[in-house]
Amino acid sequence: MNRFRTAFPAVNRELLNWFPGHMGKGMRQMQQKLKEVDCVIEVHDARIPLSGRNSEFRYTISGVKPHVLVLNKKDTIERGAQKTITERLLREESDAQHVLFTNCKDQSCDGIRKVMPLAQDLILSSNRFNRSDKKEYCIMIIGVPNVGKSSLINVLRNRHLNKKGASQVGAIAGITRSVLHKIKICEDPLVYLLDTPGILKPNIADTETGLRLALVSCLQDHLVGEELIADYLLYLLNRRENFKYVDVMGLREPSDSIDEVLVLGARHLNRTVRIRNFDRTLLARPDVNFAAKHMIKAFRTGAFGKILIDDDKLL
C-alpha cells in the first residue's frame, strides 16, 4: 500500500486569493495602453506551463494582438520537457501558439535570442489597425507576478542596446506596481517594451492551482503560510518519490507528515522560538516556520533537482 497521500486536501480559498489594489488598477492601465501596442508577450513560469496563467488576459489584453508565450526560468526544468510542453500547448491551448523557453539569467540563451525576431515577424504579418503608419513597434509584457517580466525587459535591453537594469527586479511577487513608461530596447527597428505589474485572477481556480502559484513565488509566502506551502511541496516530492528532502531536513526516512518533517527539521537546524506558557514561564519550541522557509528555499534554489510541477497535467 502506498503510504503517501494521493490527493491534497482543499484549503480555504481566502489564503490563495491575492488581488491587491495595484492589480485592478494595473489591469485598467494596461487596457488603456492597448491601442498603442502591436504585440503582447505573456511571460509565465516554465515549471507550471499549464497552471495559473491569468485567463482574463485573453479577453481583455491579448486576444486581438499578436501573442507570444514566453515560458521563463527554463533553467528550473529538464531541457527534455520543453518539447512535450510545446506540443501540448500547440495542440490544446489556442492562445499559446507561439511558445519560447527562456532563462533571463543567461545572456546567451537561445530563447532570448528568438524573442524579438518572432515578435517582429508576428507584427509584420498582422493587421496593425490604427498603428499601421507608426514606424516603431510597441510590445507589452504581461503575466502573473514574479515570473520574470522585468527581468526579460532588462535582458533584452542589455542584449540589443547593451544597457543595463531599466526595470526593477525582485524575488518577491509584486515588485512592479504600475504600467511603466515605454522602455526602448532596440534602435533598428525601433522597439519599445512596456513593463506591467503581475496580475492574478481575482478568484483562484482551485487549491492546487493556488498552491502551484505559491510554490513558484507568484503569491507572497507569508499570506499563504509557509507551513502550507511546505506541506504541498512535501506532497509533490513524495508523489515523485523524490526524497532529497530527507537530507535537507535532517530526517532518518521519508515522511508524509509535514508536522513531523518541520519539527525534526527545526531541531536539525537548531532553531527554536520562545513562547510564553500559561504560568508565564518561557518555553523553547522547535521553530517550524523557520524549517518551512528552509524547505521552500531549498526547492527554489534547486536542491531537490529540476522539477516540472505540472508534469501530471502532461500525461
Ligand X SMILES: Nc1nc2c(ncn2[C@@H]2O[C@H](COP(=O)(O)OP(=O)(O)OP(=O)(O)O)[C@@H](O)[C@H]2O)c(=O)[nH]1
Q: DSSP string spanning 100-119?
A: EEE-TT-TT-HHHHHHHHHH
Binding residues (CB under 5 A) for Mg ion: these are 149-150, 175-176
**Could you tell me if 142 and 42 are in contact, meaning their C-beta atoms sit under 8 angstroms apart?**
yes
> Which among 80-88, 115-123, 148-156, 234-242 is the span making contact with ligand X, rule CB under 6 A?
148-156
Establish if 173 lies at the interface with ligand X (CB under 6 A): yes
Q: How far is the CB of 185 from Mg ion (least distance, A)?
A: 15
Name the residue number minimizing CB distance to Mg ion. 176
| Cis amide bond preceding 189, omega within 30 | yes
Q: Which is nearer to ligand X, 170 or 189 (CB)?
A: 170
Establish if 111 lies at the interface with ligand X (CB under 6 A): no
**How far, in Å, CA of 224 to CA of 31, rounded?**
29
| Segment (H or E) for 24 | helix 21-33
Per CB under 6 A, the list member of 104, 122, 200, 229 interacting with ligand X is 104
| Segment (H or E) for 56 | helix 56-57
277: which 3 cell numbers? 506558557
Residue type at 170 in one-letter notation:
G
**How far, in Å, CA of 28 to CA of 12, rounded?**
28
Q: Which is nearer to ligand X, 116 or 264 (CB)?
A: 116
**How far, in Å, CA of 13 to CA of 209, rounded?**
11
75 binds, among ligand X, Mg ion, none (CB under 5 to 8 A by kind): ligand X
Q: Which is nearer to Mg ion, 82 or 176 (CB)?
A: 176
Q: How far is the CB of 195 from ligand X (least distance, A)?
A: 7
> Which among 23-31, 122-130, 145-153, 282-290 is the span making contact with ligand X, rule CB under 6 A?
145-153
Single out the residue of 194, 182, 197, 204 nearest to residue 65, CA to CA.
194
Q: How far is the CB of 60 from ligand X (least distance, A)?
A: 17
72 binds, among Mg ion, ligand X, none (CB under 5 to 8 A by kind): ligand X
| Segment (H or E) for 121 | helix 110-124
Name the residue number minimizing CB distance to ligand X. 198
Establish if 305 lies at the interface with ligand X (CB under 6 A): no
Q: Which is nearer to Mg ion, 25 or 128 (CB)?
A: 25
Q: Which is nearer to Mg ion, 175 or 205 (CB)?
A: 175
146 binds, among Mg ion, ligand X, none (CB under 5 to 8 A by kind): ligand X
**How far, in Å, CA of 156 to CA of 161, rounded?**
8
**How far, in Å, CA of 210 to CA of 51, rounded?**
9
Give the binding site for ligand X (CB under 6 A): 72-73, 75-76, 103-105, 143, 145-151, 169-171, 173-176, 197-198
